[in-house]
Amino acid sequence: MALPPLLRLDDIHLTFGGTPLLSGVELNVLPQDRIALVGRNGSGKSTLLKIAAGIVEPDKGEVFRQPGSTVRYLAQEPDFGDVESVEEYVAAGLGPADDKWRVARLLEGLGLRGDARPADLSGGEARRAALARVLAPEPDIVLLDEPTNHLDLPTIEWLEDEVRAMRSAIVIISHDRRFLERTTQATVWIDRGGSRRLNEGFAAFEGWRDKVLEEEETAQHKLDRKIVREEHWLRYGVTARRTRNERRLAALHQMRADRRDARRAVGAVEMVAGEARESGKLVIETIGISKAFGERVLVNDFSTRIQRGDRLGLVGPNGAGKTTLLKMLIGELQPDSGKVRIGTRLDIAFLDQKRARLRDDLPVCDALTDGRGDQVMVNGEARHVAGYLKDFLFQPEQIRTPVGNLSGGERARLLLAKVLATPANFLVLDEPTNDLDMETLDLLQELIANYPGTVLLVSHDRDFLDRTVTSVISPDGNGRWLEYAGGYSDMVAQKRGAEKEARKAEKPKQAATDKEPITAARNTPASKLSFKQKFALENLPGKIAGLERDIAAAEAEMADPTLFTKKPARFAELASKIDRDRAELAASEDEWLNLEMLKAELER
């Protein structure tokens, strides 16, 4: 016999500002259900959770909660009231029969101090405190809206285990695909005001969704063809049986109404990154850089070489030093020791995790253009802000909306639009996935994967990292950072492989034979650069700069539209010179890079 639902939302309708947000949505939550609630930003997911929690009342529909059942909702912005400590705030959510020791365990797992004052918490820490308060009593139903936001990778993996072990029924909204795949057993899709349920976890959702949309498109095409046939009958058909024809005409009007009122899937975001000049082959090189704050060493003797076209992911727990390392790599922070070399012709576009570049009091259009009119330049083409913002799913009426009135997802899309309009050959993206829906994430992944320049990405989204980066930089303890080829899953596999090999090694390596030191001595490279190599290394930067100036001057002269008609020989001469200089520039950069690599190796 089927168990009765703990929570049932039936035929839920809600309208905001004259536009229906929810139209006949249903949600049934049975004991120990694990439901992923998915849909585009603005589709009403968070609102539906608030209706389930009793925070928002629907315009129409039935909300049933089993008598005596407990419901906990993860608020986006927790209200701490007058409590003196985080531990007191979390413990206030417990019932008389709940385990009080669970509070300390949750605070430890989420990296929070129980004696911390709520007023001193950052936004991310406040959200983790709210998460601890929701999970502490193990209620009958837990409603989680973006629980992984502001969590680092170890904490996300800890939360996965916590959610799987709970006996509560759980409904989750999250942009983290891997988290949903590992924690859910059913999926409810909010789409164009309605809801559809798949009795499988999120891992099966995307294939099912694409099949549903394909079937809809086929049905819509059939309706279009039927309307065309009926319109042909209306113009040229027989009118003898008037009553029957009037019924047919009414049916045609109804089909037209259905076609007009059909709420198609919301259009996709169209992302194009502004392209700048091509950077030099070497983008960033670090040699033995270190950084400490007091006795705490965040980066210790780190060396790497980032070349044009690389896509690097920077991962690690909160507080490991990701931001410190990032700032040293792009030249915003000087290391205590070691060297950082920044390549030539580098134009950086930076996406700030805190969305600090957006002022709440500015209208959306002014935030995009910095108040410089109603046009934005994208790849040298002037575009009206309304058209450009439409590519990022903003409606025309939102152009004059203050940034402070936007949702988290809308702010994320606006900042992406601003950053991607900036001509750049080096994208630095700090937590770009926060508050983005999955369709937008798909397009951002595609943009990064096909980006002709260089990308440095900080993220806790494992699936996003697997789909975008070519290598991962991760902490290894005591300020050491190691670089792994591939994505996040490749990094995990390499770490496990190294640990397995270390366990296998039971004996130290045998001492080298007498002949081995002799052979090694014979094969040992020189301990320093030759005079010729040193001379080339010192003079190549000047040669490279001179070639860049010559190329720029020749290109400026060729930009004259009348040069080809007035002086065709000069035009041909300049074109040949540019080709020769570019070839020589590439060869010089390669030679300089190889010498720098050799020098660094010898110094180590």
Tell me the CA distances in angstroms from 155 to 179, 311, 317, 319, 481, one per residue in order.
Answer: 12, 25, 8, 12, 20
503 is in an annotated binding site: no
The phi, psi pair for 127, rounded to 5°, reads -70, -35
CA pair distance 403, 362, nearest whole angstrom: 6
Pairing of strands 34-38, 186-191: parallel
Give the type of residue at 270: E
323 is in an annotated binding site: yes
39 is in an annotated binding site: yes
Token reading at 515: 């002949």
Per-residue HEC secondary structure of 262-327 comes to CCCCCCCCCCCCCECCCCCCEEEEEEEEEEEECCEEEEEEEEEEEECCCEEEECCCCCCCHHHHHH
Number of H helices, E strands in the chain: 19, 20
Check the CA dihedral 553-558-561-567 and report its sign. Answer: positive
46 is in an annotated binding site: yes
CA 419 to chain centre: 14
CA pair distance 455, 306, nearest whole angstrom: 10
507 is in an annotated binding site: no
78 is in an annotated binding site: no
Nearest to 343 by CA among 403, 421, 286: 286
241 is in an annotated binding site: no
CA pair distance 454, 430, nearest whole angstrom: 14
43 is in an annotated binding site: yes
CA pair distance 356, 149, nearest whole angstrom: 17
387 is in an annotated binding site: no
321 is in an annotated binding site: yes
316 is in an annotated binding site: yes
Give the three-class secondary structure for 456: strand
111 is in an annotated binding site: no
CA 443 to chain centre: 10
CB atoms under 10 Å from CB of 498, counted, come to 12
318 is in an annotated binding site: yes
169-173: strand order across its sheet: 71-73, 141-145, 169-173, 34-38, 186-191, 194-198
Check the CA dihedral 92-96-98-99 and report its sign. Answer: positive
Token reading at 127: 């959200």
Burial 143-167 (b: 16+ CB within 10 A, else e): bbbbbbbbbbbebbebbbebbeebe
122 is in an annotated binding site: no
Name the binding residues. 39-46, 316-323
Name the binding residues for ATP. 39-46, 316-323
